[in-house]
Structure 1
Amino acid sequence: MKTEALRSALAPLAALVILLVLWESVTRLLSIPVWLLPPPSAIAAAGAHDASTLLGAAITTGRSALVGFGLSAVVGVLAAIVLASSRLLERALYPYTLFLQTVPIVAVAPLLVLWFGPGARAVAISSFIVSLFPVIANTLSGLRSVEPPLRDLFRLYGARRLARLWKLELPASLPHLFTGLRIASGLAVIGAIVGEFVAGFSEDAAGLGILVLSAYRQLRTDLLFAAVLAASVLGLVLFGAVSLTGSRLLRRWHPSASGS
């Protein structure tokens, strides 16, 4: 298993090394100004020099993203259960959940500041709004995907609605649910950073979004790239945690997580 994992990682690592070497070479050969396109070495130097600032900003953004992601997981599953309970409710309300997917969060963020005030609360709500729809859509799809013979079997044995939900529908929907959670994990970080663009923080609690804006205004493109990279790492960490949790829960009973 370790050998296979190493082999699968070699190709993307080699591609990354080649890309970084080409990037470094092109910027130096063409004498591209650092403020326009910094070489990877300058980005690494900026990241090392401002490591404490980047870490503090990542922690601030990560907290808001975690709150928004947690809310989207809970509210999304509950909303999907409600919609799955009635075709009439699904037809009446599901189109409105699409609003969460189509509305530009940048346009809504100022309203969040007015309603919740500037700071972490508005940022967490922004993260929640962006990451909610994938949880609803995928969980609802999973609840609807239960095979009819299994539903008939539960009805035959007189299982009540709550028992069918808890013992049949929710377990069957877990692969779909974790697919939605994996999508939502990345969107939660995006929503948090976009919220920070508008909501703002004080200087001692600036998130990655504020750091990106500050670096842009100072023409510190190297620090801007480092902040974007930190945001990507934050999203990958959250995505990896959700994927690991899902694989551990599903490994024993569902073929989608067995790797076979």
Structure 2
Amino acid sequence: MTAVERRTPEIDQEEVRRARRLQLERIGRWVLPVAIMALAIWLWDRICVWNEIPQYILPRPGVVVRTLYSDAGLLFGSLLVTLKITLLGLLLAVIGGVGLSVLFAQSKWVEMSFFPFAVVLQVTPIVAIFPLINIYVDNQTARLLLCAWIVAFFPILSNTTLGLNSVDRNLRDLFRLNGATRWQELWHLRLPAAMPYFLGGLKIAGGLSLIGAVVAEFVAGASGQSSGLASRIIEAGYRLNAPRLFAALILISLTGIVIFLLLSLLSHLLLRRWHESALEREG
């Protein structure tokens, strides 16, 4: 038996072990979070039973699910209001962040002049800015939308600017040697190279826009049939309606998870054929 023949079974066994490990990882990626979540819900229910906690303090999971079903018309109507503010704020953040990033990439003087203002917006708490917005903006929807935009704007701006400025200098020199204009270099080189950075910022901004919309509703104290989920939480807290409060919180959390998953799927679909991060996940 040759040395190659002796090594072949060892290589095959290693490939089998590697395939099994990858299969277990794929299964565990979904099974473990579901199992931990189920255990947490079971403990929540048992703590309520063992300690005889009143419903108005901590409702059992089954009570929250029943409330979610019985109050579906009210809660899902408010969810649509919050979701509209979230998505519009995210859209404006994408338009403004990408547009300003392109200007920054074209002129260092513009970046040095305006980037500090973007940092100021990011580091100043939205609850401190909202009183000024409340004075200068009359429309309630516009106030909430502006808050969601402010919170979601900076991650897209900073990540996209970083991506546009991280292009390989040799490739930029090659474009210039071939007579490419600045806008041709931007469109064919810098924007594709910045796409993974932009998508990373977009996933962050998606959650932040939801947070901005909810926090703005809390600060604004919005009420009425056309108000969002934050107002339902405030209302339920005043009325000691803990099941509705928990149901609204669950809807907000599920909305954030769905937004993150959709943006992650978008990122994977756009990058899977050419970017190293997506290729590694497929391998």
TM-score (norm 2): 0.86
1:145-184 correspondence to structure 2 within 5 Å: 145-184=166-205
1:252 to 273, 276, 283: 273
2:6 matched to which residue of 1? none
Q: How far, CA to CA, are the matches of 1:211 and 1:193 in structure 2?
A: 11
**Are 1:57 and 2:78 counterparts?**
yes
1:57-206 correspondence to structure 2 within 5 Å: 57-201=78-222, 203-206=224-227
2:13 matched to which residue of 1? none
Report the 3-state secondary structure (helix = DSSP H, G, I; strand = E; otherwise coil) of the residue aligned with 2:97: helix
Shift, 1:108, TM fit: 1.6
1:35 matched to which residue of 2? 56
1:213-224 correspondence to structure 2 within 5 Å: 213-224=234-245
Point out where structure 1 has 5 or more consecutive residues left out of the alignment: none
Give the stretch that moved more between structures: 69-78 or 2-11: 2-11
Shift, 1:238, TM fit: 1.9
Q: Percent identity?
A: 37
TM-score (norm 1): 0.94
Point out where structure 2 has 5 or more consecutive residues left out of the alignment: 1-21
- Superposed CA RMSD in Å reads 1.8
2:8 matched to which residue of 1? none
1:57/1:45 Cα in 2 relative to 1: closer, same or farther (>3 Å)? Answer: same
Q: How far, CA to CA, are the matches of 2:165 and 2:90 in structure 1?
A: 23
Q: Work out which of the two has the higher radius of gyration on C-alpha atoms and give 1 or 2.
A: 2
Give the stretch that moved more between structures: 82-91 or 216-225: 82-91
Q: How far, CA to CA, are the matches of 2:129 and 2:23 in structure 1?
A: 46
Q: How far, CA to CA, are the matches of 1:91 and 1:111 in structure 2?
A: 26
Q: How far, CA to CA, are the matches of 1:122 and 1:79 in structure 2?
A: 22
1:208 matched to which residue of 2? 229
Report the 3-state secondary structure (helix = DSSP H, G, I; strand = E; otherwise coil) of the residue aligned with 2:225: helix
Shift >4 Å, 4+ stretches: 1-6
Give the count of matched residue pairs: 260
Per-residue CA shift, 1:60-103, capped at 9, x if unaligned? Answer: 10001111000000100111111222333323322221122211
Asked if the contact 1:200–1:206 (Cα under 8 Å) also holds between the matched residues in 2, the reply is no
Asked if the contact 2:202–2:263 (Cα under 8 Å) also holds between the matched residues in 1, the reply is yes
Give the stretch that moved more between structures: 163-172 or 236-245: 236-245
